[in-house]
Chains A and B, each alone.
Chain A
Amino acid sequence: MADRIRAVLRWETALVVLLVAVAVVGSVRTDGTFLSGGNLFYLGLDIAEIALIALPLTLVIAAAEIDLSVASVLGLSSALIGWLWTAGWPLETILPVVVLVGAACGALNGLLVTRLGLPSLAVTIGTMALFRGLALVVLGDTAVADFPASYTQFGTTPVPGTNLPYPILLFAVLAVVFAVLLHASSFGRAVFAVGANEEAARFSGVRVKRTKLVLFVLTGAVAALAGIVYTFRFSSARADNGTGLELAVVAAVLLGGVSIFGGRGTLGGVVAGVLLLGSLRNLLILDDVSTEVLTVVTGLLLLVSVLVPAVGRRLGRRVDNSRLGRRVDNSRLGRRAGRRAATSAAGPP
């Protein structure tokens, strides 16, 4: 029974309930516009990059690391697209190169963290400035916008016959891939093991460094992919694309119930967190609420996402303690009695 209650009281469940509540309130307040196909299309587009990057970042945070350089990798990849396109490269070559550069950025993060044992927070604050700086070096403050419509249409038209934006289709495919990777593969179990207790994981034969390196490389590659999406969606390659996005992505992942200490979290929760964030944002915009309120709401949600589990843990502990209370008292008495027996047996010299 207790287990069943606990299962229902999961954070993920709360997210889904909130999501439904937002959808209901939203469609009532906007006379159904909120759930209309057209609006859902924009809702999806609006969160595409955050959603994409949140996937690999979930794994990184589950492994008790963090990557704050993702938005800069996005910017670097956007700048590279613009630069190479201006230099006359075909897009078919540019896109794979950009993803490879993103992976290389991730590898730099990963190597600094695993080979030198540096804290990922410090490393990725450094590479955040470095990658954004390289983006500026590559493209300066110019914008490249003359991309062929055959590419930019992926950001402006839905998948034929649906209201699904192409980036969200990409997100759905990647979400399944990452969900399988995290929850149904030995690699995923290694990720949780590393996040829960790195030393124990190492002694259990998990290749800790290799695992972390792979996670950073994946994050870099997906961030570069998000850079491609961003560039074509706005049909504009700029070095400052996606500035500040890293905090939104981290917020989405944590809102999804992933523990910042690692070892806990689900990809489904993160998908729900991303959708909740996107719906709220969209609803508030439809409702003509200023974006400032939106910022406050994002921040409050983030605070709630850590405070609720913390309070829950504490309450849970209190319940466990009161239930165990009698048994603990008994055992303590027993130990004391035993000690008394032992001293009396030894007797005075």
Chain B
Amino acid sequence: MSGLTVESDVDQASAGQRPARRGAAARRLVDRVGRVRELGILVALVVVVAVTAVANPAFVSPQSLRDLLLNASIIALLAVGQTLVVVTRNVDLSVGSVLGLAAFLTAQTFAANPGLPLLPGLLLGVLIGLACGALNGLVVAAGQVPSLVVTLGTLYVFRGLDFTLARGRQVNAADLPDALLSLGSGRLLGIPNLVLITLVVIAAGALYLRAYRSGRELYAIGSNPDAAVLAGIPVGRRVFVAFTVSGAVAGLAGALWMARYGTVDAAAGTGLELQVVSAVVVGGVVISGGSGTVAGAALGALLLGTITSCLVVLRIPAFWQQAITGALLLAAITVDRLVALRLAAALRRSSRAGRRDEGG
């Protein structure tokens, strides 16, 4: 995608006034495809739910729909943070471990201090995640080393730390304050609390990426890191912030995980990172950076979660679940790629036509 924008910019620069209109048309085309991407996931979501509902009408009962949203909310939350990172052409594989570490430490703190109010406790989870994310960001940005390796390393380090601190113990729901557990299971105006919190985080992430200068700069970094440096964007600082946010969100997800499940041991959230990356990619965030939205990523999480539930309802053996998830992920990136190729061809045609006009 980055190549495309650069190409059309060059065309605009080389020709005069008319291409500005052409550039706008091209941008509209890109925009439309972007929107179609999210629409595509929505359509897939509706189809999946509809097919399942035909087989079992109870699937679309309010309670069942609430459960669908609730089950997807933790992954969707993580997907928001991951989107910020992936958009900059990085990846954060440590989110599962950060979630586990934050969940266990927060749970332990609550268990040890029965009088602890809710908010400072949850904030502790966020801060633990923030610290982990800042460490990732610092190593990636200051050390200028690939994030895949760094976060693979911290995936082990954070998880190992988690196990070392837990020493085989687990925190049970009985040790946690009731207010916390009712936060995890309660709802407001019929919508589960966790879903509401997730929606707030999605909205904040979407607003940041869409309307804030530093948010837009994340896309610029992912499209072309070298050009971003030349354009005066503080690449290191932005990447650091993206990782820190991803960590903080994972910390929040850890605290909510604890509130939801009540029982926390050191293995909480193991292997979650790949589910999150899958959700992000299915949601149309390009793994090589520069393109994608938070809403798309969250929808991707919802789609993957819904399909899992549907398979259960349709009595398809659970063994098929993973194969279908994998096939879906491959289909999503393949379709994305084919659309991008089509788009590139269309843009090239329109710019060529424009150049002919220019000559005549």
Q: Which residues of A contact B (CB under 8 A)?
A: 66, 112, 116-119, 121-123, 125-134, 136-137, 140-141, 239, 244, 247, 250-251, 254, 260-261, 290-303, 305-307, 310-311, 314
Write out the residue numbers on chain B whose beta carbons fall within 8 Å of the beta carbon of A116: 334, 337-338
Given the contacts A123-B333, A129-B323, A244 and B271 also touching, CB distance less than 8 Å: yes
Distance between Cα atoms of A66 and B93 in the complex (Å): 15
Interface extent on B, as a size class?
35 or more
Distance between Cα atoms of A305 and B139 in the complex (Å): 12
Interface assignment of B130: CB less than 8 Å from any CB of chain A: no
Could you give 13 example pairs across A and B, Cβ below 8 Å?
A118-B337, A121-B91, A125-B274, A125-B278, A127-B330, A129-B326, A130-B326, A134-B323, A292-B160, A295-B163, A300-B153, A302-B149, A306-B146
Choice from B91, B143, B320 contacting A306 with Cβ under 8 Å: B143
Distance between Cα atoms of A140 and B317 in the complex (Å): 9
Distance between Cα atoms of A281 and B6 in the complex (Å): 49
Given the contacts A299-B156, A306-B143, A127 and B326 also touching, CB distance less than 8 Å: yes
Q: Report the minimum CB–CB distance from B272 to chain A (whole Å).
A: 12
Distance between Cα atoms of A299 and B153 in the complex (Å): 4
Distance between Cα atoms of A132 and B337 in the complex (Å): 24
Choice from B145, B161, B281 contacting A310 with Cβ under 8 Å: B145
Interface assignment of B322: CB less than 8 Å from any CB of chain A: yes
Given the contacts A116-B334, A244-B271, A295-B159, A303 and B154 also touching, CB distance less than 8 Å: yes
Distance between Cα atoms of A21 and B267 in the complex (Å): 33
Interface assignment of B164: CB less than 8 Å from any CB of chain A: yes
Are B281 and A247 neighbours in the complex by a CB distance under 8 Å? Answer: no
Are B330 and A133 neighbours in the complex by a CB distance under 8 Å? Answer: no
Are B327 and A130 neighbours in the complex by a CB distance under 8 Å? Answer: yes
Distance between Cα atoms of A133 and B316 in the complex (Å): 13
Given the contacts A126-B278, A128-B274, A133-B326, A250 and B152 also touching, CB distance less than 8 Å: yes
Write out the residue numbers on chain A whose beta carbons fall within 8 Å of the beta carbon of B325: 129, 133
Which B residues from 133 to 152 make CB contacts under 8 A with A?
139, 143-146, 148-150, 152
Q: Report the minimum CB–CB distance from A117 to chain B (whole Å).
A: 7
Write out the residue numbers on chain A whose beta carbons fall within 8 Å of the beta carbon of B143: 306-307, 310-311
Are B322 and A133 neighbours in the complex by a CB distance under 8 Å? Answer: yes
Interface assignment of B157: CB less than 8 Å from any CB of chain A: yes
Write out the residue numbers on chain B whose beta carbons fall within 8 Å of the beta carbon of A141: 319
Distance between Cα atoms of A314 and B144 in the complex (Å): 10
Q: A126-B330, A239-B319, A254-B149 are in contact. List 9 more A-B contacts (CB 8 A).
A: A116-B337, A121-B148, A129-B274, A130-B326, A290-B164, A299-B153, A300-B157, A303-B153, A306-B149
Are B164 and A296 neighbours in the complex by a CB distance under 8 Å? Answer: yes
Write out the residue numbers on chain B whose beta carbons fall within 8 Å of the beta carbon of A127: 326, 330
Q: Report the minimum CB–CB distance from A263 to chain B (whole Å).
A: 13
**Nearest chain-B residue to A314 (Cβ)?**
B144
Write out the residue numbers on chain B whose beta carbons fall within 8 Å of the beta carbon of A260: 146, 148-149
**Nearest chain-B residue to A313 (Cβ)?**
B144
Write out the residue numbers on chain A whose beta carbons fall within 8 Å of the beta carbon of B317: 137, 140
Interface assignment of B277: CB less than 8 Å from any CB of chain A: yes
**Nearest chain-A residue to B156 (Cβ)?**
A299
Choice from A129, A247, A297 contacting B329 with Cβ under 8 Å: A129
Q: Report the minimum CB–CB distance from B104 to chain A (whole Å).
A: 12
